[in-house]
Amino acid sequence: MTQPPKPAPVPAPPRPTYGLVAVAVPSGRVTRPVFGRHGFAEGALVTDWPAIVGAAIAHHTLPVRIRFPAKERTDGTLIVKVASGAFALEMQHLEPLILEKINGYFGWNAVARLRLIQGPLPETTRRKPPAPEPPPLPPDSQAAINLARVEDPDLREALARLGRRIAKS
């Protein structure tokens, strides 16, 4: 004797929230339809891009979409917009490392290859590159500070950086 199939469970309506709510909680409901059209199940890949690939790479790139094979959610192709042809060449060399970082972020083999397109990045996504190191102190300034007597190497380096900044201003 066969039993009739169970009816599908009805999802519970969203519970009303009172008081303060973190913005990240309801933003998923708002961004999911937009990011979903571009293959991003969650917008986290776009929003966390600098944390995933690092600030230096994120400054020159922007993830555009993920294309998965039919009826699959693994081994996709991530389409990345690159600001210049020179950096696109760099991205080709870094592809295995970047894929490892992306798949480590997802926790499964979500992306199998990168497809690079070249074009200008929107100004809102352009991030400032890391600030360059200040130049070393001139010899006469180093003698005035006399850092040789400082025993702790971390403190000595911090004081040297402070001296360089003061001398620069």
Q: Give the pLDDT of residue 98.
A: 94
Class level of CATH domain 25-118:
alpha beta
Q: Give the pLDDT of residue 73.
A: 78
How is the chain split into domains, by residue range? 25-118, 139-168
Report residue 113's pLDDT band, with 50, 70 and 90 as the boundaries.
very high
pLDDT in tens, 29-41: 555 555 555 445 5
pLDDT in tens, 39-78: 455 567 778 888 899 988 988 999 988 888 888 878 889 9
Q: Give the pLDDT of residue 67.
A: 86
DSSP the chain: -PPPPPPPPPPPPPPP--S---THHHHHHHHHHHHHHTT-SSTHHHHTHHHHH-HHHHTTEEEEEEEPPTT-SSSEEEEEEES-HHHHHHHHHHHHHHHHHHHHHHTS--EEEEEEEE-PPPTTT--PPPPPPPPPPPHHHHHHH-GGG---HHHHHHHHHHHHHHHH-
Q: Give the pLDDT of residue 38.
A: 47
